[in-house]
Structure formats: structure tokens, C-alpha cells
């Protein structure tokens, strides 16, 4: 095999790999209302670290296809809106920001709604794994900065119709 042929093959293979890794072009609507047909909406209450209760509108992602979609392709959300991921079993959960165009706060919560950990200000479009520190049942995604603005921390609890005691 000649040197030129080797270079040509290597370049072709590199281009194929790059094409396969390319983020897909956006094909879905990008406004938050586009979620209305595919997700139930609910009111969620957060008991913050300072004892103040905050009411949030959330989209509920309880089915696998909903969890896989999440907030992909959404470019902005109203101030006190988010998405609540509900998992059937308590497990270590991992998220990523692929095709998510806005920074988020990820709040990981146990089955009783108490906050386990928070990842603040995630990087949009990242493939980095964002993982809970212990088995959890819920992940609440909010606009970046919301958890600090509302004083949501490890003493906080999320309350919604499915986990009220």
C-alpha cells in the first residue's frame, strides 16, 4: 500500500467517524409548550433549607421515552418551571446534557423527596455523565441558578402528588 493511499484511507475513515459523532440537527420544536402533548404537568412544592415553601410547575417524565427526551431541544423555560424525572426503583441515576441547549440545576432526591445532592449550572450540549451520589428516585431539572435563588439544598424536600406523606 502506498503512502498516499494510506493517507487517503485514514482521512476517509476520520471523516466517517466525525460524521457519525455529529450532533443530530434539530428536528423538534424548541419552545417549552412543545412538551405539553407528551408530558403530564404537575405542581411541585419545594420545602427549602430556610423553611420557605416554593411552588413550581413541572413536566413529569415517568416513562422511559419521556426520560430519554427530557428537555432536549428546549432553548428556555419560564422562571419557576422544570422537569421531574420519576424512576420506579431507587438506583444511582446518571444524566447528560446532549441536545440540551440551556444550563440546568440537577436536584437528585430520595424516595421520600429529601434532597440527596445537587449539580449546579450544568454545561449545555455536554456528553459528560452527571451522576447521583447515592440511589435516588427523583431528578428535578430547573433553570441554572434556581436552586441557589430558592435556597434549595441538602436540607430541602420536594413534594408532589406522588410522594406526599
Domain assignment of residue 9, yes or no: no
By three-state DSSP, how is residue 71 classified? coil
What pLDDT shows up at residue 1? 59
Structural domain total, the chain: 1
If one counts every other C-beta atom within 10 angstroms of the C-beta of residue 63, the result is 13
Domain assignment of residue 8, yes or no: no
Domain assignment of residue 151, yes or no: yes
CA distance 123 to 102: 8
Domain assignment of residue 77, yes or no: yes
Domain assignment of residue 96, yes or no: yes
Domain assignment of residue 125, yes or no: yes
Residue with cell 450544568: 122
For β-strands 136-143 and 94-95, DSSP reports them as unpaired
Domain assignment of residue 10, yes or no: no
Per-block mean pLDDT, blocks of 10 residues, the chain (165 long): 57 46 48 87 97 98 95 94 96 95 97 98 97 98 98 96 65
Domain enclosing residue 122, as ranges: 27-159
Q: Structure pTM? A: 0.81
Q: Assign residue 43 the CATH number of its domain.
A: 2.60.120.1140
CA atoms within 13 A on the CB side of 85: 26
Locate 65 and state its grid cell: 421515552
Q: Looking at the chain, how many residues does it have?
A: 165
Q: If DSSP states are collapsed to H, E and C, what string results for 79-98? A: CCEEEEEEEEEEECCEECCC
Domain assignment of residue 7, yes or no: no
Amino acid at each position: 500500500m502506498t503512502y498516499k493511499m494510506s493517507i487517503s484511507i485514514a482521512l476517509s475513515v476520520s471523516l466517517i467517524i466525525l460524521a457519525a459523532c455529529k450532533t443530530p440537527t434539530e428536528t423538534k420544536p424548541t419552545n417549552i409548550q412543545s412538551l405539553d402533548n407528551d408530558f403530564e404537568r404537575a405542581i411541585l412544592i419545594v420545602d427549602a433549607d430556610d423553611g420557605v415553601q416554593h411552588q413550581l410547575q413541572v413536566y413529569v417524565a415517568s416513562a422511559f421515552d419521556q426520560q430519554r427526551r427530557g428537555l432536549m431541544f428546549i432553548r428556555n423555560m419560564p422562571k419557576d418551571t422544570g422537569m421531574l424525572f420519576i424512576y420506579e426503583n431507587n438506583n444511582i441515576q446518571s444524566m447528560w446534557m446532549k441536545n440540551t441547549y440551556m444550563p440546568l440545576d440537577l436536584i437528585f432526591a430520595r424516595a421520600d423527596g429529601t434532597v440527596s445532592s445537587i449539580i449546579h449550572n450544568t454545561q449545555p450540549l455536554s456528553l459528560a455523565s452527571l451522576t447521583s451520589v447515592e440511589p435516588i428516585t427523583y431528578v428535578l431539572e430547573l433553570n441554572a441558578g434556581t436552586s441557589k435563588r430558592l435556597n434549595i439544598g441538602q436540607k430541602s424536600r420536594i413534594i408532589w402528588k406522588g410522594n406526599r406523606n
